[in-house]
Structure 1
Amino acid sequence: MTKHLNLNIQDQFTKELPADPIVDTNSRQVLQACFSYVNPKKTAQPELIHVSKNMLKNLGLTEADAKTEAFVKTFTGNSILPNTKPYAMCYGGHQFGRWAGQLGDGRAINLCEIEHNNNRWALQLKGAGKTPYSRTADGLAVLRSSVREYLCSEAMHYLGVPTTRALSLALTGDMVLRDILYNGNAAYEKGAVVTRVAPSFLRFGNYEILAARQDIKTLKTLVNYTIKHHFSHLGAASKETYLQFFQEVATRTLHMIIHWQRVGFVHGVMNTDNMSVLGLTIDYGPYGWLEDFNFGWTPNTTDSQHKRYRFGNQPNMGLWNLYQLANALYPLIEDATALEAILNKYKTDFELESLVMMRQKLGLQLEHDQDAQLVQDLETVLQLAETDMTIFFRNLANFKKEQPEQGSALIKDAFYEPSKITAAIKQQWVHWFEAYAKRLQKETMPHTARQEFMNTINPKYVLRNYMAQLAIDAANQGDYSLIDTFFKLLKQPYHEQPHNQQWFAKRPDWAKYKVGCSMLSCSS
């Protein structure tokens, strides 16, 4: 008999919210309910690949626990924790600007909620089998996408970006059929499961589906639940509390996207069902990191034509999604003017906070009237030729205001094709570095202090798309060493790590157009 893990299980979601009365995995419309009970699919030969020691500790588990049969079985869906009933959430969403109706946890199954050190965590398996929300899909995930999700969840945390977390990555021993580019060339890939962890996985879409169905009773129950457990500082439920709740969701969303822009992260699929009500980065699908600084870049093949979710449009998409959440909450608030005021505040706050963020990236602590122009000019010149964002900003910390002529030498390593840097482009860079040096004259912070400060804002190491692909290629051959290498590297993204200098490098030529490096699909 398998021993069970010693977790402090404190389920609330299933105890306080209405359940789907039907208990099976048949695809269907789930009405007047927030979730459906469903058990994970047992797998052929579960094998643990990697575990986050930090998340183990957060959950009250030990490294010894992670080596047990109970751990492997629990976090691959082969064993259910005692006194728990796994479930999938019901939600809807706007996908690429259009209402898609009911979506739900089609390949995610929530195991339980636990409490440890006064923190609450929901545990969720991604890729553990069919649910009523899987529609025509199988509810499974493949190793390729699971490696990307596992590594990125934890990398984002250490970058200081609000995010859901990951506990473990495991193989299932089953093969899963996937069409990676949706072009009719389906192939079998290794199946995998990621254990995701967050205070809650509630999304904008959880509220949208109830409002769309005019199920105001369940909507009110869910909003009251959310405030009680995740926004309790707002006080008892009332129309005013609902407004304050929406304001806080808007603020958290804004801060999350500011962080995305700071580190050059592009989510790739900012549908409302992928927007956390807690302001956490959620659902790591066709994401990517900017390599060359390009406001028009999107990593998502599905988005390649219209580029709705391109890097430069992420702030606007945050606002668009908040409009949809405002519409969903309106029946409880019935004050369009107050909701619009919050949405308008998002616009002005984003401009202000974006400038603050860019000042930090440039090492400017004092405010100056010309800063917005300095930033705008920088963004213009960065796009004149392919220029690596991460390398540019990291090297900029070495710039000395007394030697503006050395700016060109600092930036040369960031150019992807130095031979295409014309005299005109060089001159524009000279002008910008001169303006930057002049602006730094107004600062009082010594060079070394500014350098240290900038190196806490501009990461040296990010999960570049080609790095993730190298880890995936090796893992498909049974070599998991690169997963561990990158996991450790990305726990200290702002540290110099001289022994890892090889990963502080531009995207190699072979990766520019390679599937999985330049463009990705939602295939999982």
Structure 2
Amino acid sequence: MQLSIENTFSQELPADPSTANTRRQVEKACFSYVTPRIPSAPSLLQVSNEMAETLGLSQEDIKSKAFLDMVTGAHVQEGTAPYAMCYGGHQFGHWAGQLGDGRAINLAEITHQNKRWAIQLKGAGETPYSRTADGLAVLRSSIREHLCSEAMYHLGVPTTRSLSLSLSGDQVLRDVMYDGNAAYERGAIVCRVAPSFIRFGNFEIFASRQDTETLKTLTDYTIKHFYPQYEGGTKEGYLGFFNEIVQNTLEMIIHWQRVGFVHGVMNTDNMSILGLTIDYGPYGWLEAYEPGWTPNTTDRQNKRYRFGNQPQIALWNLLQLANALYPLIGETEPLEAILQSYHTEYPKKYIAMMREKLGLQMAEESDIQLIADLEKNLQASETDMTIFFRNLSLVSKNITTSWEDAFYAFAKAAFYKPEEISKTIYSHWETWFQNYIKRLSRETLTDAERKVQMNKVNPKYVLRNYIAQLVIDAADKGDYKLLDEIHTLLKNPYDEQPKYERWFAKRPEWARHKVGCSMLSCSS
């Protein structure tokens, strides 16, 4: 197995002079060298072949012992020096100080076809940043990370990727709901891939310590390798760099809202400097359209990271990044202007995205009210977001069916309790559909053409919470057929895929309050 290794992060940035793997505060360094823990009996469960091909790995490579050794940390590749990154972060709105890669170990950077990829193991052992934890991960959370990384990629959402999912052969003690009922689970390792895993928190830690020298070194490195259109070392370059991050983050959030993804723990240490979805912990997918829903049990009371608040949290996190970069710029006004652009642009981009979901190509002022009325109706009764928008493409602007028959046919598919829809709710829906069809009549696309366009932005299949849990339940028993099936299904989320039609279904009642389906913790 031949890999083109060209490390930049560890060669161009300051390293922690200590090589001891002990918990400590790391000063004036961007990373600490660390060796992955050797797993007792590693075995490969699944490989994302597309990602492997992107890295220049052949099927023969994937089947080799060298590949298994690499993606489980069983053997350190020649010419590499694994490390854990140092960063801080705001967690649930409060500065948490030094955090760092507590259970992630960066192996190397691989170049292929003029692209550089950072390879990282999650769950391969403790690091100086593990705090009170063991740096390991379990099969349950690793399946969720592996599947969702790839699902998001195929949905067209900016994301980190997963190259592989493996078992370590070790038992790991975890308290799933933090209620004192710890139990042993099977250990697992995900091999993650991204152009870079640098986060907002990487910059925050140095700003918090008034270490402007290291902050500048890191910022100039990031601009050089990931935002080369700007000039490091200049105020204009730093402002352009920040503006680009703001725009990339905005695009990512729009995609989250489009597909109904809830990150669950949008701390600043979980925000990618490249605008990628990163750190799939207690995430979830909207079943019913509920802007107030969060899957994270830790956030149950305040719901800071609820679906409807994600755009505002992203802006708040960007403000923290602006504060971190301020020592390099020395002026607040240009940073504030860039942040204001997010505030101004988000509503425009959101409306444009919703027009696409509704199959509207032309922009009309009345669309804002049409969208607002739709969101109000979706919350009036428990309505499945994915099914509703996917089936909306079936509505004809030349409808001839009676309103009542058409509505209840629609309701049966997308509404969780259609029998509970009151006359008032029905009348609101009737008004909305009448307005929607009138609006469609002013569009030039035929029904068939519009259906094609809508089905490109409204997925038929997403990684529903209960589906992920079914995969986990089967895998816990040593059955990985469902893992393979769902991994295949999620590669084509916008296609009909008749053989997988059973997964185009509302959340079953048994999953309404089941741990892993309706609520999750950060436990891994």
Whether TM exceeds 0.5 here: the answer is yes
Distance apart, 1:417 and its partner CA: 1.1
Letter of the 1:206 counterpart: N
| Alignment match, 1:483 | 483
Give the secondary-structure state (helix, strand or coil) at the position aligned to 2:494.
coil
Distance apart, 1:233 and its partner CA: 1.4
Uncovered stretches (5+) of structure 2, i.e. residues with no partner: none
Farther off after superposition, 374-383 or 232-241: 232-241
- CA distance in 2 between counterparts of 1:207 and 1:234 reads 18
Give the secondary-structure state (helix, strand or coil) at the position aligned to 1:75.
helix
Letter of the 2:116 counterpart: R
Matched, 1:136 2:132: yes
Question: TM-score under structure 1 normalisation?
Answer: 0.98
Equivalence map 1:489-504=2 (5 Å): 489-504=489-504
- CA distance in 2 between counterparts of 1:393 and 1:64 reads 42
- CA distance in 2 between counterparts of 1:362 and 1:502 reads 25
Equivalence map 1:321-332=2 (5 Å): 321-332=317-328
Farther off after superposition, 405-414 or 485-494: 405-414
Distance apart, 1:236 and its partner CA: 4.4
Give the secondary-structure state (helix, strand or coil) at the position aligned to 2:380.
coil
The question of whether the paired residues in 2 share the 8 Å contact of 1:91 and 1:104 is answered with yes
| Alignment match, 2:444 | 444
Q: 1:206 to 1:198 in 2, by over 3 A?
A: same
| Alignment match, 1:64 | 60
- CA distance in 1 between counterparts of 2:385 and 2:2 reads 45
Q: Point out 4+ residue stretches in structure 1 off by more than 2 angstroms.
A: 404-412
| Alignment match, 2:186 | 190
State the identity as a percent: 63
Matched, 1:223 2:219: yes
How many residue pairs match? The answer is 520
Letter of the 2:54 counterpart: N
- CA distance in 1 between counterparts of 2:345 and 2:77 reads 45
Distance apart, 1:408 and its partner CA: 4.3
Please report the RMSD computed on the Cα atoms of aligned residues, expressed in angstroms.
Answer: 0.8
234, 239, 244: which one pairs with 1:243?
239
Equivalence map 1:111-130=2 (5 Å): 111-130=107-126
Deviation string 1:192-212 (CA, Å, 9 cap, x unpaired) is 000000000000000000000
247, 253, 259: which one pairs with 2:249?
253
| Alignment match, 2:14 | 18
Equivalence map 1:22-61=2 (5 Å): 22-61=18-57
| Alignment match, 1:465 | 465
Equivalence map 1:150-229=2 (5 Å): 150-229=146-225
Uncovered stretches (5+) of structure 1, i.e. residues with no partner: none
Give the secondary-structure state (helix, strand or coil) at the position aligned to 1:347.
helix
Distance apart, 1:407 and its partner CA: 4.4
Deviation string 1:158-213 (CA, Å, 9 cap, x unpaired) is 00000000000000000000000001000000000000000000000000000000
Deviation string 1:92-131 (CA, Å, 9 cap, x unpaired) is 0000000000000000000000100111100000000000
Letter of the 1:178 counterpart: R
Distance apart, 1:412 and its partner CA: 2.6
Deviation string 1:35-70 (CA, Å, 9 cap, x unpaired) is 000000001100100000001101110111111111
- CA distance in 1 between counterparts of 2:64 and 2:175 reads 35
- CA distance in 2 between counterparts of 1:127 and 1:420 reads 46
Distance apart, 1:301 and its partner CA: 0.3
The question of whether the paired residues in 2 share the 8 Å contact of 1:466 and 1:511 is answered with yes
| Alignment match, 1:515 | 515
- CA distance in 2 between counterparts of 1:44 and 1:381 reads 54
Matched, 1:285 2:276: no
Give the secondary-structure state (helix, strand or coil) at the position aligned to 2:442.
coil
Deviation string 1:362-399 (CA, Å, 9 cap, x unpaired) is 00000001000000000000001110000000000000
The question of whether the paired residues in 2 share the 8 Å contact of 1:399 and 1:410 is answered with no
Distance apart, 1:73 and its partner CA: 1.1
Matched, 1:355 2:351: yes
The question of whether the paired residues in 2 share the 8 Å contact of 1:408 and 1:430 is answered with no
| Alignment match, 1:414 | 414
Distance apart, 1:235 and its partner CA: 3.3
Give the secondary-structure state (helix, strand or coil) at the position aligned to 2:439.
helix
| Alignment match, 1:310 | 306
- CA distance in 2 between counterparts of 1:110 and 1:290 reads 32
Equivalence map 1:311-390=2 (5 Å): 311-390=307-386
